[in-house]
Chain A
């Protein structure tokens, strides 16, 4: 067979030169190899950069929402304006709207400016008072309603500053942009600076962001996540209470009992298909069945919870089945061998051993459900909700918001301050997700057994 060897390309190359020298073709092949490697590395770098870009942009835009500018004013709660009859009757005070409180803030601001010797050219008293948020009279009113004995005294209040003034200290608003802005003037910003020097204006951590309800379009500074966090928590509660037992029961049946027949096949195919159905279709289902047909209220956590339960079920079933499968047959055989029934074997021995895996899968499913937005848009969670829902179970039927939907809601509003709030809300959402996934990883590390 010598003639064949002589005709092969390798032999031809050998004729051309030494094995120690790379020929033209080898060099080309090695360049191609390097190029391919570089492409691969570029792809990995792109993926990691995308992650950092994504998180970086959210952090860059959102961290400032955790800080808030407040104006400290000594307000004289004038009895002549707040309580004309003088009997501090709570019902009469209730009738008084926030309009009656606004002049008190104007007066206090004028007094403050005079006391601190601040004078700014071209700034009238009305404009000066506007650096305080439009939400401030309501804050004042609530404080007075809670404690009518304050009327007639001078009380020190820490009031929210207007969103633009707040933005000025976060770099969103500048003197130049204020010139063009109808909602704020450079004079007002100068006043804010002067108040800051006088110690009456300060920026501090924004606790209200986590507890306050949403606020209207014109007062981004007052908008908070309280209702949204509570609404999301309610929905997670429902998902946990429904999806975990149903999912585990279904998995036990499919993994341990189901006979090989057409019904089992249909169920299996169904579950894998449901896992891939677009989330918005579940929203349509919720709207058509739970709201339109059963007649559950719109925007209620119960509907959101039910829809998210149906979405989470496939995830939990898949995780649970994997966990059940991982329990070695020897455990089952040992239990059956000492006379346990099949049901006892599963509930007393297999299920406890699979529990860490099931819990991990459940937490990951819950984390997915927590970030889900599209189906909630369709069942009315976009509504503007300011009232906190009641305690469960009644509160499950009250209107509420949800964390991811609140983000969407804020991005749809005009004021750029809401973009900052939306990014802040995303950070809160991501922190929740990190905590949940962290717990899942810990559980897996701590309790997972390998046989």
Chain B
């Protein structure tokens, strides 16, 4: 029984429970002549909730925890001597998993029965060839302890699945019967089901916390793993980024941070003045018809996915900059460059900056404007000398938010900035950023045991820390500023 079928069975039980609960309430009420405390549907609902929620919760938790449990059980079975030179336990364990999956395929095909499999030994048969026939390729021959571990991996998995099915069904039926048996007309069924639903609503709001825990947990865990293999001081202070797939890589973050910083700087230099001026012009000067056309147009820019900007950088802006500016001036011959990515990212940020500044400018009280006009200032003087200083904290907050977006942006830099890690001042050279390297280290075949892969998690943690810091700072500034005028 797969988890999917199990979930469907629980769903069917839930429906049955609902009907049965409702019927029982009605029957008992008409038998005793007592009035029901709640509407009949609430009696059904209370039974249905007691069937579905514990069962689904148990199923989810089981699916999540079983892999860890099996892993720790099987992992202790492999003696240290079975781990080949230069390898680690987690690599051997991934072999074990693949062998177990391969055995599942073979048994499913019917070319091997469970009893045959129990008698099979890695000493007499070449498991590697057998699995290759089933479409599972293994890097090396299978040693006896590894094969035995794979067999017990399957065995524990099977027992686990059986226990799961029994327990989930038992929970559904048990709780259902209990809820059903306590139905009587005086029972406060509405209160029961409402308390239950309230708990569910609260549980849903905890998903946000769980997500944050998931992000921080996975990043921290793998980063610690990475620092176990690669010295942290090298990572933070080395100026060379040169991953090798055979080991001996230099994984210094400095060139990546420099690229990230440079691209973001170019983007902000374009986006902040333009976005700010757009906000000022549209809110203070533009007539109704221009605003009616320009405002949605700028908002459309904000709704376009970043992959579109990436393609724009790749096929239009990059070649244009190369052919018309970089090559004539002798500054470089690469179409992907800091300038390409920065300019396109700047365009992406314009609507972001302009809509944030628009809110901030509108929040400046009208009385300040009126005061300034009353003293004879022109419109632009009012904007520059009165509104801007008053709105400055908010605008700084908006710029910080834009910067955090720029740092975390991926597709534009992947397609526009290039892949060469370089410390250079020339903006027409290809450079690379933290996000580009996360993508390149984690796409394709990933083996979670080499520093070349795990470095992506350290990069991710750095990125997360930077953006989180910028956001918290920006939100703090914006909130402080709002209080000023409330």
Contact = CB atoms under 8 A, between A and B. Distances in A.
Q: Do chains A and B interact in one complex?
A: yes
Interface of A: 29-30, 32-33, 36-37, 39-44, 46-48, 50-51, 53-54, 57-58, 61, 245-247, 249-250, 252-254, 257-258, 266-267, 270-274, 276-285, 287-289, 292-295, 310, 313-314, 317, 341-343, 367-368, 370-374, 377-378, 380, 382, 393, 404, 407-408, 411, 419, 422-423, 426, 429-430, 433, 437
Interface string B451-484: 0000011001001100110011001000000000
Interface in B278-295: 278, 280-282, 285-286, 290, 294
Given A47-B294, A53-B316, A281 B307 contact: no
Nearest to B314: A411
Nearest to B221: A288
Interface of B: 4, 63-64, 67-68, 97, 190, 194, 197-198, 200-209, 211-212, 214-215, 218-219, 221-222, 273-278, 280-282, 285-286, 290, 294, 297-298, 300-301, 303-312, 314-316, 347, 350-351, 354, 378-381, 383-384, 401, 404-405, 407-411, 414-415, 435, 438-439, 442-444, 446, 448, 456-457, 460, 463-464, 467-468, 471-472, 475
Nearest to B470: A276
Contacts of B347: 50, 54
B63 to A, nearest CB: 7
7 contacts: A47-B354, A51-B298, A249-B204, A276-B405, A343-B194, A378-B443, A411-B315
Contact of A43 (B273, B308, B405): B273
Contacts of B68: 293
A37 B311 contact: no
Contacts of B275: 43
Given A44-B290, A276-B401, A271 B201 contact: no
A287 B278 contact: no
Given A285-B214, A341-B194, A40 B305 contact: no
Contacts of A285: 211, 214-215, 218
Contact of B315 (A274, A288, A423): A423
Given A40-B278, A47-B354, A250-B205, A426 B219 contact: no
Q: Can you list the 5 inter-chain pairs with the closest CB atoms, starting with the nearest? A: A278-B408, A371-B305, A40-B281, A43-B277, A288-B218
Given A44-B278, A276-B401, A284-B456, A270 B439 contact: no
Contact of B439 (A36, A293, A377, A422): A377
Contacts of B316: 53, 57
A47 B411 contact: no
Given A278-B408, A408-B415, A250 B207 contact: yes
Contact of B409 (A273, A278, A287, A314): A278
Contact of B208 (A46, A57, A314, A411): A314
A246 B281 contact: no
Given A294-B64, A341-B194, A378-B443, A267 B209 contact: yes
B463 A281 contact: yes
Contacts of A382: 443-444
Contact of B410 (A44, A267, A280, A314): A280
B67 A33 contact: no
A276 B463 contact: no
Contacts of A419: 315
A22 B273 CA distance: 31
Nearest to A290: B214
B378 A29 contact: yes
A12 to B, nearest CB: 14
A33 B307 contact: no
A373 B305 contact: yes
B460 A284 contact: yes
Given A40-B281, A257-B198, A267 B306 contact: no
Contacts of B274: 43, 46-47
A40 B464 contact: no
A433 B303 CA distance: 9
A277 B215 contact: yes
A246 B300 contact: no
Nearest to A298: B446
Contacts of A407: 307, 311
A34 B126 CA distance: 85
Tell which of B301, B383, B404 has the most Cβ of chain A within 10 Å.
Answer: B301
Contacts of B198: 253, 257, 343
B335 to A, nearest CB: 12
A276 B308 contact: no
A273 B471 contact: yes
Given A39-B277, A314-B208, A294 B308 contact: no
Nearest to B290: A44
B64 A280 contact: no
Tell which of A47, A252, A371 has the most Cβ of chain B within 10 Å.
Answer: A47
B23 to A, nearest CB: 23
Contacts of B467: 276-278
